[in-house]
Structure 1
Amino acid sequence: MSSEHMQIGEVAARTELSLRTIRHYEDTGLVIPSARSQGGFRLYTEADVARLMVIRRMKPLGFTLDEMRALLQATDRLDSDEELSAEEHGQLLERIRDFEQAAQERVVDLRTQLARAQEFAATLAARLDRTPAP
């Protein structure tokens, strides 16, 4: 991982999130810039970008900010250099498994919604095809 810092504009371009959205995630504590420039600009690392990508992927699945925070806390704890008891390690993995299962269920729901939307669009297209022009 690179230790180079990026300003928020580059992070926004890389994550396809707006500056406002990134600032919102900062305000809610989901992501905290790794540093600030001498001029006070937010500076982010690759790890910060990876964290924002997790959030970006959770958002369309309908996860709440609190759920995002819980998953990030679990992964942060697992990724820390701190030694974990076998019990805590197991609990963290179980929490992540729960999120994975919820994500899979939400993907199925979205596929169902997409299929219905495609059927609807096809119905409209067929209607237009069989309606003569004036």
Structure 2
Amino acid sequence: MGLDVGSKTVGVALSDALGWTAQGLETIKINEEKNEFGFEQIGKIIKENEVSKIVVGLPKNMNGTIGPRGEASQNFAAELESQFGLPVILWDERLTTMAAERVLLEADVSRQKRKKVIDKMAAVMILQGYLNSQI
């Protein structure tokens, strides 16, 4: 399972059974201020799809340092590991959201539709990057 953790949503992607390709599944709305992080929904997805590993995008600054969003992703990953007892890999996601936006623009997806699928698409790119590194 690949996750793109934002401040308002979490994009979710799953791989095929062989771990070759990533497909977007859904976008979960979250609310950081109310401590609502979508863990209940993530737990359902883990059970339904027999997830054995989670890859969480780690947004680093271009110079490699970790800022507030990166720290939020690290905390999210630690909570996933604690709640579900699965290995969680933090994956450098620099530029994945911009790359996802570019793919959607090239596919001529309207701005409104892009907004709805951008996080799911970024999750696909995070997971696919990780899967490719395992070959």
TM-score for both structures, normalised by structure 1: 0.24
Greater fraction strand: 2
Greater fraction helix: 1
The structure whose Rg is larger is: 1
